[in-house]
Structure 1
Amino acid sequence: MTDTLDKAPAAVPPEQIKAIPVRHYGRWVAGVLVIAVLALIGVAFSNAKINYSIIPDYLFDKGIMSGAWTTLYISVLAMVLGVALGIVLAVMRLSSNPVTSTVAWFYIWFFRGTPVLVQLLLWYNISLVFPILNLGFYKNEMNQVMTPVLTALLGLGLNEAAYMSEIVRAGIQSVDEGQTEASHALGMTHGQTLRRVILPQAMRVIVPPTGNEYINMLKTSSLAYAVQLPELIKKATDISSTSLAVVEMYFVACIWYLFLTTIFSIVQYYVERRYARGSTRNLPATPLQKVRTNLAKMNMLSLSSWRR
């Protein structure tokens, strides 16, 4: 019995598994097609009758610079108006008062349902409805009051308020109702609860879409060209009418819009990180943090090599 056990064959080890990667031929085909399409577009633009050499000459033209500044400040003012009025509308929409909630709903329905260009033109021609502006302490013709700057501010800001109200309402509703009940139990009024408890917690939900709305506002402000506001597109068009470089001026305007939106996209990125610090998910390192980490690693390697 022992002899047969001693002569039992040894266990054969299993063969090592060879992992064969799956070949994704579709990815290669898609990549080749995308590169081919990009190459065709590049060839088309290179053969187009566009004088690319004059674009740098007009990039910092005084007219273009003033138009970019007008675009920047009118979009900032309109966004401030939209955020302030949007908060009021969101509170009205969430109110238990049927009158205020209905008015807020109608406002949002109207301004979200009509084009921004139509709203700008309506404000620009508001003198047909109200020829004279009489506030008691101030009286003047509406044509004198409704300047292109004021028209753009009202048209863009009031339209933005309709979208911001929905963003703020979603942020307020994302906060647990227990927070409100606890605040009221501590003796806080509804306004104090909203300012000190609800809105600070809702900012994490409100900030990301608000940043997107402002970047969209920068581009939407180009519609103010229709009401004679001297913004970036208006200035580029005026220059193209004398230089006959129409498409070239549009490229100049595109470069400035890309520059402005990129700057505010970076700002939005860091603001979002600040308000997301209380989140449980791990935040990825910022580009600046990655640079600092790589520099620290390089310093450690240099120190270790010097000690050797």
Structure 2
Amino acid sequence: MATPASSTPKSDFPWWLAVAAALAVAAAIFIAASDLYAQVFATVATGIGITVFVTMVAFALASAIGLGIALMGLSGSRWLRQIARFYVEIIRGVPMLVLLFWIAFAGAPAFVAAWNALTAPLQNAGLFGELLVRDVSLLWRAIMALTIGYSAFISEVFRAGIQAVEKGQIEAAKALGLTRMQRFRLIVFPQAIRTILPPLGNDFVAMVKDSSLVSVLGVADITQMGKIYAAGSFRFFETYSIVAYIYLILTVGLSLALRGLEKRLRRQHEQ
């Protein structure tokens, strides 16, 4: 008796990607051929560097803090677990835009006041001057807001990935005499990263898009450069079409790169 064929094909050609790539190439040719769109693109593209910088720095800091919060949440100390849960639930409950405004206009002045109070003896001794609110740039306020906001989500990604590792392997590592740090570095994390990478990649792509929120503080990213050009030329359709095009290139490109990395790690694990 013949075995029925599987209803799911083993290899599904990514027609969506082919269509998207064709549209992207056609749009690039159109932009290059049009003086207006080329000018808009040249203006908006000057913000790509700031967008990439904000995303990379904020994501690196958020990942480091998120890993620390996740380890606190998995620790043997009840107080550390409660502090971690408090942080995650509170930060996740605040909209990113509200958090951005709070960090920029309330958190930064409070930090400056606390810093000056703590370092007053050193300032009186003439070792360094008083820190002013304007000394904390809006760029770094935006980066810290994204860092704090995403660290809560990333901590849950790390926590779930670490908890997905089989306890039997951890017990075996304990039996071999490995310390807690050695168990995490050699046994837990290398296995957890395969579970962590897909949602972590999704958060990275989401941060690329959410980095557009820094434009409300006047940070010269892609969105802000588009707002400035559109306000001066009244070419809103052309400008925001280019803005959307650039963000799509960044996010789709990153998604494909992360998907390729996931497949590579999966093949290495199978071997």
Contact 1:130 1:142 in 2 (8 A): no
Q: Deviations over 1:159-213 (max 9, x none)?
A: 1110111111110011000111111111111111111110100011000111111
| Matched residue, 1:129 | 110
Displacement, 1:146?
A: 2.5
Aligned equivalent of 2:7: none
Matched to 2:266, the amino acid is A
SS in 1 for 2:267: coil
Unpaired runs of 5+ residues, structure 1, are 1-51, 283-308
Q: 2:215 aligned with 1:234, yes or no?
A: no
Residue in 2 that maps onto 1:93: 73
The one-letter amino acid paired with 1:68 is: I
Q: Deviations over 1:257-301 (max 9, x none)?
A: 011112211210111112212566x9xxxxxxxxxxxxxxxxxxx
CA distance in 2, matches of 1:53, 1:147: 35
CA distance in structure 2 between the aligned counterparts of 1:171 and 1:127, rounded to whole angstroms: 33
d(CA) in 2 for partners of 1:127 and 1:149?
A: 12
TM-score, length-normalised on structure 1? 0.69
Aligned to 1:48: none
Percent of aligned pairs with the same amino acid: 30
Amino acid in structure 1 at the alignment position of 2:184: L
Residue of structure 1 equivalent to 2:39: 57
- Residue pair 2:108, 2:141 contacting (<8 A) in 1 also: no
Is structure 2 residue 225 aligned with structure 1 residue 225? no
In 2, the alpha carbon distance for the partners of 1:118 and 1:140 equals: 29
Letter of the 1:129 partner, please give it.
A
Distance 2:241 2:35 in 1: 12
1-structure distance, mates of 2:77, 2:132: 34
The correspondence of residues 147-158 of structure 1 with structure 2, limited to 5 A, is 147-158=137-148
Deviations 1:65-102 (A, max 9, x none): 22111111111111111111111111100112011111
Deviation at 1:254? 0.4
Larger helix share, 1 or 2: 2
Larger radius of gyration: 1
For residues 183 and 200 of structure 1, the distance between their equivalents in structure 2, rounded to whole angstroms, comes to 14
* Structure 2 gaps, min length 5: 1-33, 123-127
2: CA distance between counterparts of 1:208 and 1:127?
33
Q: Partner of 2:63 in structure 1?
A: 83
Instruction: Find the counterpart in structure 2 of residue 166 from structure 1.
Output: 156
Cα RMSD of the aligned pairs, angstroms, is 2.0
Matched residue type, 1:172: I
Given that 1:151 and 1:227 are in contact with CA atoms closer than 8 Å, whether structure 2 keeps it comes out as no
Look up the match of 1:10: none
Aligned partners of 1:96, 1:165: CA distance in 2, in Å? 17
> What's the counterpart of residue 102 of structure 1?
82
Asked if the contact 2:109/2:133 (under 8 Å) is kept, the reply is: no
Match of 2:52 among 72, 80, 97: 72
Q: Which runs of 4+ in 1 moved over 6 A?
A: none
- Structure 1 residues 142 and 104: alpha-carbon distance in aligned structure 2, compared to 1, 3 A threshold: farther
* TM-score normalised according to structure 2 size: 0.79
> For 2:159 and 2:61, how far apart are their aligned partners in 1?
17
Aligned AA for 2:217?
A: V
SS of match in other structure, 1:277: helix
- The change in CA–CA distance for 1:277 and 1:225 in structure 2 (over 3 A counts) is same
Q: Specify the SS of the correspondent of 1:129.
A: helix
- Equivalent pairs, count: 228
Partner of 1:113: 93
